Amino acid sequence: MPPTRRIGLFTGGGDCPGLNAVIRAVTKNAILNHGLEVVGIEDGLLGLIENRCRPLSFNDVSGILQFGGTILGSSNKANPRRFPTARNPDGSLVFSDMTERCVEHARAHRIDAIVAIGGDGTMSACRALVERGLNFIGVPKSIDNDLFGTDLTFGFLTAVQIASDALDRVHTTASSHGRIMVVEVMGRNAGWISLYSGLAGGADVILIPEIPYDTTAIVRAIEQRAARGRKATIICIAEGAKPKGGLQAVGRIDPSSPDPVRLGGIGAMLAGELEDRTGQETRVTVLGHVQRGGTPTAADRVLATEFGFHAADLLASGARNRLIVRQDGRITDIDIADAADKQRLIPSDHSMLRAARAVGTCMGDEESLTE
């Protein structure tokens, strides 16, 4: 293999705070310490499909560390293997394989290797290109913190901070009115945001996709609180939570997306049920994309910088198809294929679940009840 001279870089999937910090760290390290040229690919894999790439200089990435979003743009709809290219007469989409086109565009820009900053969808989508000989170094991003192989993704801690700030605010208004307040946070199949922010924000009930909830157990927890003189109850629920024996609440379907289901509505569903069963006034707050926007926390900027610095170092060392990860507090790397099509869910024996139960938090199941 000839040495890497020119690298491509893109941000794929849903955006999250810290993307710019990674772009900056990869580019500065590549230019300053390894003499590499950097090409920014616009809007994730969409830019590779549509041949939209631009050179990135030291100055292009200066002064962006603290900004949310991504200077390169992102897309969570561009899977080269199944890309919508036309419509059938009935309005349904026609999908084509754009893998070859991506390879041609990478070669036309003389890109020797690509840094893919993305989550599980991006890592899975890159597989077809890896099989065609492109070299990828993945950097794990997601507010959901659900990427397999890493203990932490950047963006997650910022989302947790935003959600726990919101819970703090909801507490005061809930106790003024003696209400049940349901706060719906993001998290499709993994409930990390709900668990962390619920613990940090002192939620009385925390609901996660990994533990299907029993409404009767929640009603009993509310009654137990009332018996102790606590009239207000704060419930933090992941958008992907579901009732026992029931299904996740689907907000909308986006047929053009490789992962077409957009969740939403579980908070309102639960609130309606609780109001009916307890007779207590109940309100819902859906935090939504607020959790993905704005300034990254200092911890996320540091993590993003560490990930980006390691990605450029790895490329310069000639590594092929690796994913940068954090394991047991250390930054290291694993085979990128190991993270594809898998998710990191909360294990049932996780110490934070035990901590939550120990302080009297209801996790939506009978185990949580104290009497």
Q: For residue 116, which phi and psi values (nearest 5 degrees)?
A: -105, 110
Q: How far is the CB of 252 from ligand F6P (least distance, A)?
A: 9
Phi-psi region of 131 (alpha: psi -120 to 50; beta: other; left: phi over 0): alpha
Question: Which residue number, 137 or 159, has a Cβ lying nearer to ligand F6P?
Answer: 159
| Catalytic, out of 15, 112, 120, 144 | 144
Q: How far is the CB of 346 from ligand F6P (least distance, A)?
A: 15
Closest CA to 92 of 253, 255, 251: 255
DSSP 304-318: HHHHHHHHHHHHHTT
At residue 209's C-alpha, the angle toward residues 354 and 350, to 5°, is: 25
53 is written with which tokens?
A: 């790439």
Helix ranges restricted to H, the chain: 19-34, 45-49, 99-108, 120-131, 156-177, 192-200, 215-227, 266-278, 298-316, 351-358
Contact (CB, 8 A) for 266 and 241? yes
How many other C-beta atoms lie within 10 A of the C-beta of residue 116? 30
Q: How far is the CB of 14 from ligand F6P (least distance, A)?
A: 4
Q: How far is the CB of 254 from ligand F6P (least distance, A)?
A: 7
Q: For residue 36, which phi and psi values (nearest 5 degrees)?
A: -90, 155
Question: Which residue number, 112 or 239, has a Cβ lying nearer to ligand F6P?
Answer: 239
Contacts with 360 (C-beta within 8 Å, 6 or more apart), sequence order: 204, 370
Residues contributing to the site for ligand F6P (CB under 6 A):
14, 76, 119, 142-144, 186-188, 239, 262-263, 292
Q: How far is the CB of 239 from ligand F6P (least distance, A)?
A: 6
Question: Which residue number, 135 or 145, has a Cβ lying nearer to ligand F6P?
Answer: 145
Question: Which residue number, 261 or 352, has a Cβ lying nearer to ligand F6P?
Answer: 261
Question: Which residue number, 24 or 292, has a Cβ lying nearer to ligand F6P?
Answer: 292
Burial 213-232 (b: 16+ CB within 10 A, else e): bbbebbebbbebbeeeeeeb
Q: Is 349 a catalytic residue?
A: no
> In terms of C-beta density within 10 A (0-12 exposed, 13-18 middle, 19 or more buried), how is residue 295 classed?
middle
Q: How far is the CB of 43 from ligand F6P (least distance, A)?
A: 14
Question: Which residue number, 36 or 159, has a Cβ lying nearer to ligand F6P?
Answer: 159
Residues marked as catalytic: 144
